[in-house]
Amino acid sequence: MKLFIWKRVSELTANYHDSGGCAIVAESLEAARELFRKEEPELNCGLLRQEPDFESEVSAAEPRLFIFPDAGCC
């Protein structure tokens, strides 16, 4: 499994400040994007187009998705 991290993704949330970070554990970048599409089908954000800022091998039993919304100024 691999860990993919995007530090700042536009249109990741429906919040006023719609950016945020995302971490996905999956077999490949394609599998990570498929998991994102499955878990967040209404979002057509930058994660589906931009390369991750970081990736690394990890020992994990199953794919996981973590979204970190941008707190902004509010």
When pLDDT is averaged across residues 21-46 and rounded to a whole number, the result is: 94
* pTM for the full predicted model: 0.89
Residue 3: both structure tokens together: 């860990």
* Tokens (6 digits) for 26: 């999956």
The answer to whether residue 39 is domain-embedded is yes
25 part of a folded domain: yes
Domain count of the chain?
1
Rounded CA gap, 26 and 11, in Å? 22
| Tokens 């499955």 sit on residue | 38
Whether 59 is covered by a domain: the verdict is yes
Please report, for residues 28, 35, 62, 68, 74, the alpha-carbon distance to residue 6 in angstroms, rounded to integers and kept in the order given: 14, 15, 19, 10, 22
Give per-residue pLDDT as tens, 3-33.
999 999 988 887 777 788 999 999 999 999 9
How many Cβ atoms from other residues are within 10 Å of residue 27's Cβ?
12
Residue 61 in contact with residue 9, Cβ under 8 Å? no
Note whether residue 74 is domain-resident. Answer: no
The whole domain housing 53 covers: 2-69
Structural domain includes residue 13: yes
